[in-house]
Structure 1
Amino acid sequence: MLLSLLTSNPTAFIIIALALVLSLAVHEFAHAYTADRLGDPTPRRYGRVTLNPIAHLDPVGTLLLLVAGFGFAKPVPINPNNLGRWGTLWVAAAGPISNIIIAFLCAILLKVLPPTTITLTILLTVMSINVVLAIFNLIPIPLLDGSRILGALVPSLGRSLSQFEAQPFSFLIVMGFIFLAREPIFRVIQTVQGWVLSVVGV
């Protein structure tokens, strides 16, 4: 999907690819930085407290982004024993929160900067990608941040979700769910994008 733009619209390909890479890097950095600040040295030990995208990109996830328009970064390793219940919740929430902040910053810049074609294209692309990342990761299903937030709020459920994630087929089940639920997820994303723009008066 994304890779097809390389020949049909190289400029769009570069803008989207850079926006995806940088937004994923910020998302994972937010997880790592929050864990580090809350007393868990694990992310720093693995070199993840950095904005360098190379530290966060997963080869398979990046390939999927280019080919299918959907992929993933390397999960940030943490030790919940160093964080406790609420620390784990804040670490999980930090990624989506960082994406929402970026989306609002883009909306503000859309309001104050001269509306040139390239400015509108870049800012709308970055804003849209970050809204997608935030909403997608807040879905409370295993392997996503939403499940870790839910697990921290309901510890008994969190143990079940962790056990499910450990199963070798969990990734395929989650991908199947997302594929089947793509239309309502897309509608939620559109609604949130409109809300972000309306809040800043764009």
Structure 2
Amino acid sequence: MFINLLQVHPTYYVTWVLAVIASVVLHELGHGFAAIRQGDRTPIVSGHMTLNPMVHMGGISLILLAVVGLAFGAMPVNPAAFRGRFGRAAVAFAGPAVNLLIAASTILLAGLLVRTGLVTLPMWEPHVIPYRLDSVTILLIVAQLNLALFAFNLLPIPPLDGSTVLGDFWPDWKRWTSNPDLAPFFQAGFLLVFIFGARLFVAAGDATGIAFRALAGG
């Protein structure tokens, strides 16, 4: 179990926990800023425009993170207040977009650090917990995590952001996902995605490694 890393590899444990917290908080703030731009002040009124992880994640999510390494967050919004025609899609996409921006930024920074000779090429493998953590390895862990979050959240299965985006452009999808008779099927789909999410994380690691080596010249 993830919490066992606290004993066998405490540095990696702390790094992962902090990376997840930062990524989830920034993801939710992405939703919040997009909602505000759409004319919705709910994120401000509810006090969610903050960096406080307890506000975005809550105690249950933080405990889940500490034990199994996974977490979730929430940003209250009022779609009825959105001005744009595709306001729901814009606000929903903003969260994953922040994760993609984080992933791209950290990969770019890691590649530049190695290419300029400021640090040596790390012995980093995306599918193995690194024994030694250096600055570049930490950046790549953050990149892999955020690339996985980007892809996962854009899957068109409720309650993920991708379902909201698709529903805003395809009304039938919104109607189907709102149908209580179909809810068990979507819940089963979400459960399957959650179970096989590890493969998505592996794919994100492969993509991170390819992009990093291309930038680092290694």
What TM-score, normalized by structure 2, do the two folds share?
A: 0.80
CA change 1:158–1:201 in 2 (3 A) is farther
Q: What CA deviation, in whole Å up to 9, does each residue of 1:76-109 have, x standing for no partner? A: 1111111154111110000111011011110111
1:115 aligns with 2:131: no
2:138 & 2:151 partners in 1: Cα distance? 20
1:80 aligns with 2:96: no
CA change 1:103–1:76 in 2 (3 A) is same
Aligned to 1:25: 25
Aligned length: 200
1:125 & 1:192 partners in 2: Cα distance? 12
2:42 & 2:179 partners in 1: Cα distance? 21
1:198 & 1:159 partners in 2: Cα distance? 44
Matches within 5 A, 1:45-194: 45-73=45-73, 75-83=74-82, 84-113=84-113, 114-115=118-119, 118-164=134-180, 173-182=188-197, 184-186=199-201, 188-194=203-209
Are the equivalent residues in 2 in contact too, given 1:137–1:145 (CA < 8 A)? yes
Unaligned runs of 5+ in 2: 121-132
| Structure with more of its chain in helix, by fraction | 1
CA change 1:36–1:62 in 2 (3 A) is same
Deviation at 1:125, TM superposition (A): 1.2
Aligned to 2:8: 8
Unaligned runs of 5+ in 1: none
Q: Supply the AA of the counterpart residue of 1:177.
A: L
1:33 & 1:158 partners in 2: Cα distance? 24
Q: Supply the AA of the counterpart residue of 1:115.
A: V
